[in-house]
Amino acid sequence: MELTIIGSGTGIPSKTRAYPCTLVKIKGNHLVFDTGPGSLRQLFLAGVTYLDIDHLHYTHFHPDHSLDLVSILFAMRYDTPKRTRPLFIIGPTGLQAFYEGLLSVFGETIKPKTFDLHFKEIENGEMAFDDWKIIVEPLQHSIHSIGYRIESLEGKTLTYSGDTGYCDGILRLAKKVNTLVLECSFPDDQKVDGHLTPRLCAQIANESQCGRLVLSHFYPVCDTFRKNNKHLPDTLKGIYKGEILFAEDFARITL
């Protein structure tokens, strides 16, 4: 299993961080989690084309996490080369309505011509595939927000939070996971409801006993706080003893 941070930013433009998007490769399958604006190009720069994507997973439908679904479906109508294998799109309650809303605006330009679309709405539970399974839990953010835990047949595990506050759902998803990818939106003294801070991320990592913590989804104010606070890594190490990584776009981790 390989993790690539395609976009480590938020809805606020950044010179160094693209909108949220995460790629997981399992046995030749490309699983994409959230597609904020520009994700299709970011994926291309990471060596993944619209033909390569097997599954799209959405944590919620805020624009910074979902808007490039339009670009992806539009690109997949391109005649040469044609996409023929099906595309699976998974997300929380409202996924089908979200797609139908996009259709009402963009019409035939995002309707598949040469392949089938398969939608799956899920709030919690498990989905089994040939070489992996996915566990879903509701998280504290918008009315329908979920997080994902991916488990390979070889026993490798990865959790991707999307946007969330501290809640039981993220603790269950993160329990003893090999790699935990958490949003880290704001500094500790500027906590916003439905989002995490560095200390809260370290607390979740410690309580879940995960093997590695990857912090992502940095608003500019949190990036500035991190860069100006040279002792932050040591502070977080005082809470969580495991490996801590601050994500950058195109960072790759092999599990």
229 burial (CB, 10 Å; 0-12 / 13-18 / 19+) is middle
Which residue stretches of the chain have pLDDT < 70?
A: none
pLDDT of residue 163: 98
Q: Which residues contact 252 (CB under 8 A, 6 or more apart)?
A: 2, 3, 4, 5
Tokens of 56: 């799209």
What single letter denotes the amino acid at residue 162?
Answer: G
Dihedral sign for Cα atoms in the order 32, 67, 169, 251: positive
Domain ranges of the chain: 2-254
pLDDT tens readout for residues 123-151: 999 999 999 999 999 999 999 999 999 99
* Alpha-carbon span 81 to 246, nearest angstrom: 37
* Alpha-carbon span 119 to 88, nearest angstrom: 6
* Alpha-carbon span 11 to 24, nearest angstrom: 22
Q: CATH fold of 2-254, please?
A: Metallo-beta-lactamase; Chain A (3.60.15)
Say how many C-beta atoms besides its own lie within 10 A of residue 62's C-beta.
19
List Cα–Cα distances, 15 to 6, 42, 216, in angstroms.
14, 14, 15
- Evaluate whether 211 touches 179 at the Cβ level (below 8 Å): yes
What DSSP state is assigned to residue 34? E
pLDDT tens readout for residues 215-230: 999 999 999 998 899 8
* Alpha-carbon span 24 to 4, nearest angstrom: 6
pLDDT of residue 81: 86
* Alpha-carbon span 214 to 44, nearest angstrom: 23
pLDDT of residue 79: 76
Tokens of 96: 């089908």
Q: Is the pTM of this model over 0.85?
A: yes
pLDDT of residue 80: 83
* Alpha-carbon span 64 to 19, nearest angstrom: 6
pLDDT of residue 78: 87
